[in-house]
């Protein structure tokens, strides 16, 4: 856990190498208000509204002042996301007394619903291009949001993309279909290599990506490998930038990874119905579930506080949970049209 203090008005906590949660503790509640949370310049980045980052451009990178002691510092960054992502009030039901809950919509970062995954890719893709790569390799589960984001980013930069996707032993020899993230990946032309969960566990992601890398090199290609989730020291700079973005906007675990209890999925469904915001089941859904549970279990600790929750995206990951979610959906029926209702010829016909 990296604690960032000093010139940053609130105390910020950043967990490197993961996209699960960035927590923010507001030291002075007056720093957080509707007026100073919104940062209106849609293309501004880094040093205020006068600095602009053109979309799909590569620029030299300068870290925030409070991160300049970290090494190595990336030399360049690609602008792939639509940032700053908005922050707005989130009126969840049954909040403790006087709690103001805000949500940062990293699910709206662009790149075909890529969520916060695009933040890491801004740095990873910059290194790939700097090294002269002509294709990208990455690896993940069959409905990996990171793999889909990588496929889209590669296409934006005119790079080929090769995905190693983990699936069941029963399905590994079959066409993976066009459901959820697979639809986007295959539409943008990504090459898909399937491995079984057993092969993945026995061989390991690093060996698998190296095998594919060696094959592509023999074919005359120049591949760049991105690890699972884009989670390495370089990708972590995406979250340092996210903290800088939040600072500017302020100026002043369940069953396991990608596994959900029925209560968590019911929570995702209830929140969507209550607020119109759809959470993903892997990261944001679990984080919000535990946040609200802690608020209900310890209301006195939360009373009067202002809280910022970061929605990291991942909407298409819900496709993998459709069998579990379907029984929760009762909001449909066959329309009852009585025989006595008069009919009119030519009205409502299908041609």
Task: Cite the active site residues.
Answer: 144
CA distances from 221 to 151, 206, 218, 230 (A): 17, 19, 7, 21
Which of 236, 301, 291, 245 shows the shortest CA–CA distance to 12?
A: 245
φ/ψ of residue 262, rounded to 5: -60, -35
> Alpha-carbon distance 173 to 197, whole Å?
13
- 6 CB-near residues (< 8 Å, 6+ apart): 66
Burial of 272 (0-12, 13-18, 19+ CB in 10 A): middle
CA distances from 220 to 126, 155, 191, 223, 305 (A): 22, 20, 16, 10, 58
Is the distance from CB of 12 to CB of 4 less than 8 angstroms? yes
Q: Angle formed by the axes of helices 237-250 and 117-130, to 10°?
A: 130
Half-sphere exposure of 328 (CA within 13 A, CB side): 16
- 45 CB-near residues (< 8 Å, 6+ apart): 51, 52, 53, 79, 83, 84, 245
């Amino acid at each position: 856990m990296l604690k960032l203090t000093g010139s940053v008005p609130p105390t910020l906590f950043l967990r490197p190498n993961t996209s699960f949660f960035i927590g923010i503790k507001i030291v002075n509640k007056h720093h957080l208000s509707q007026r100073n949370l919104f940062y209106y310049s849609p293309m501004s980045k880094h040093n205020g509204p006068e600095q602009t980052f053109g979309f799909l451009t590569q620029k030299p990178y300068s870290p925030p002042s409070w991160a300049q002691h970290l090494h190595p510092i990336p030399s360049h960054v690609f602008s792939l996301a639509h940032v700053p992502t908005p922050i707005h009030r989130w009126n969840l039901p049954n909040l403790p007394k006087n709690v103001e809950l805000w949500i940062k919509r990293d699910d709206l970062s662009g790149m075909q619903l890529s969520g916060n995954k695009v933040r890491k890719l801004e740095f990873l893709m910059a290194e790939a291009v700097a090294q002269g790569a002509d294709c990208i390799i990455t690896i993940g589960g069959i409905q990996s949001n990171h793999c889909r984001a990588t496929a889209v980013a590669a296409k934006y930069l005119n790079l080929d993309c090769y995905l190693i996707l983990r699936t069941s032993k029963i399905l590994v020899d079959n066409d993976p279909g066009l459901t959820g993230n697979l639809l986007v990946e295959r539409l943008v032309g990504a090459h898909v290599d399937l491995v079984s969960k057993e092969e993945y566990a026995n061989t390991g992601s690093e060996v698998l990506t190296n095998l594919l890398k060696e094959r592509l090199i023999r074919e005359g290609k120049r591949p760049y490998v991105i690890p699972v989730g884009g989670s390495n020291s370089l990708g972590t700079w995406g979250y340092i930038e996210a903290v800088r973005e939040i600072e500017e906007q302020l100026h002043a675990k369940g069953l396991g990874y990608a596994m959900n209890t029925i209560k968590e999925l019911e929570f995702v469904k209830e929140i969507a119905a209550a607020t119109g915001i759809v959470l993903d089941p892997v990261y944001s859904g679990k984080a919000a579930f535990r946040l609200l549970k802690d608020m209900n279990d310890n209301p006195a600790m939360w009373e009067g506080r202002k809280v910022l929750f970061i929605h990291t995206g991942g909407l298409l990951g819900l496709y993998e949970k459709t069998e579990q979610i379907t029984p929760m959906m009762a909001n449909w029926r066959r329309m009852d049209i009585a025989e006595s209702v008069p009919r009119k010829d030519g009205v409502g016909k299908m041609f």
